[in-house]
Amino acid sequence: MYSETPLLRWDIFCRVIDNFGDIGVCWRLACQLAQRGQSVRLWVDDSTALAWMAPEDSTGVEVKRWTNPLDLAQITPGDVMVEAFGCEIDANFIASYAYHISARGLDLGSCQKCRWINLEYLSAETYVLRSHGLPSPVMSGPGKGLTKHFFYPGLTEGTGGLLRETDLLDRQARFDRPAWLKQQGLNWQGERLVSLFCYEPAGLGDWLEALAQDSQPTCLLVTPGRARAALDAEISCKTRLNPLWNKHKKLSFLYLPQLSQTDYDHLLWASDVNFVRGEDSLVRALWAGKPLVWHIYPQDDAAHVAKLKAFLDWLEAPASLRQFHRHWNGIAPAANRSSQPDFLPQEWSICAALAKTRLLAQDDLVTQLIRFITKNH
């Protein structure tokens, strides 16, 4: 399938801001490029998360420490530079990249020779279609005369698509749900399983109370970090105000360790409903094909509200799922108990399955990125 793919050397630059989402996406990108025969260097300022996120090395990916200033001794820039999420590639590296183009007697501005990609964040908003693939001439600095191109991941045709491994569906088909749950220490008795990966959602308290009073037992599979801290704080508050809030024990908890990217996929596949946050876990939940609730990263200017609406529009989410998202994300005012949004994953299942089918009909991000580099550069 990839016999005619040109073999290129890629330099991917990533800065770890917080929550490890950026490095998660960049590691997946690097691995998927390497799996298709590409040579990849991943430059990252803090690679410690890879110890648990990706404990097994990936053949063809070399992790390099991004220091300041960057030590370029015995380093020759590759064919493609990927600037992930506006991280601004080191000026010395850009200068070296430009030098090696000119040293070969090539025109700096030649689209056939300058392969500089600005990989953007995922969004379902309409500007992605307008902006995907656009050139951005560099007018000053060490890269003057070069041209970078914007590459936007997306959910529709005409965008860059989503990261997806070539063997994803095969791995899903082979997944043994009971065996994996047993490995995590859960003696599963058929209760509803819900994965919880979030920040500090506004709707958490109301939701916990609703689950505790539901006739169907639920086990929350809780990820470490902010999700665990937010849950512990809410449980502590509820127990202090009403020690019997979960007296029927309809709601139970399994606290998970830090999971590798492979095991996080397994968590999503094992769960009946997935609560996710950020970008990387949202994409993985879409591939899981299960009902999902997205805790979008809140922004001071409320830009996340329009971003969430665009995603729900693309998802063709039913009214109950839209209402739940608004409450979970603190966009809608806190509702009283009689008007609490229902937790109806049954109604959401068809929506999630259809979304996965639509996405599978599109080429994945790596396929599109290689095609973009080959065709336009």
Asked if residues 29 and 12 have their Cβ atoms less than 8 Å apart, the reply is yes
Q: pLDDT by residue (tens digit) across 164-176?
A: 999 999 999 999 9
Confidence of residue 338 (pLDDT cuts 50, 70, 90): very low
Known catalytic residue at 107:
no
Parallel, antiparallel or unpaired: strands 116-119 and 135-137 = unpaired
Mean pLDDT of 284-302: 94
| pLDDT reading at 3 higher than 70 | no
Measured between alpha carbons, how far is 237 from 335 in angstroms, rounded to an integer? 19
Q: Which two structure tokens, joined as six digits, stand for 280? A: 């990387």
pLDDT mean across residues, the chain:
92
Strand-pair partners of 103? none
Cβ atoms of 141 and 92 closer than 8 Å: no
Options 79, 263, 265, 279, the catalytic residue: 279
Q: Are 232 and 253 in contact (CB under 8 A)?
A: no
Q: What tokens does 174 get?
A: 């082979």
CB neighbourhood size of 336 (10 A) = 8
**Which residue segments constitute the domains of the chain, with CATH numbers given?**
9-161+363-376 (3.40.50), 168-360 (3.40.50)
Highest mean pLDDT of the ranges 50-54, 71-75, 313-317: 313-317
Query: Rounded to whole angstroms, what are the CA distances from 80 to 97, 137, 224, 244, 300?
Result: 9, 16, 36, 59, 34
pLDDT band for position 330 (50/70/90)? very high
Beta bridge partners of residue 219, listed in sequence order = 193, 252
Q: Is 279 noted as a catalytic residue in this protein?
A: yes
Rounded Cα gap, residues 44 and 174, in angstroms: 33
- Return the structure tokens found at 370: 């290689």
The whole-angstrom separation of Cα 268 and Cα 180 is 11
Beta pairing partners, 14 = 44
Q: Determine which one of 22, 120, 206, 280 is catalytic.
A: 22
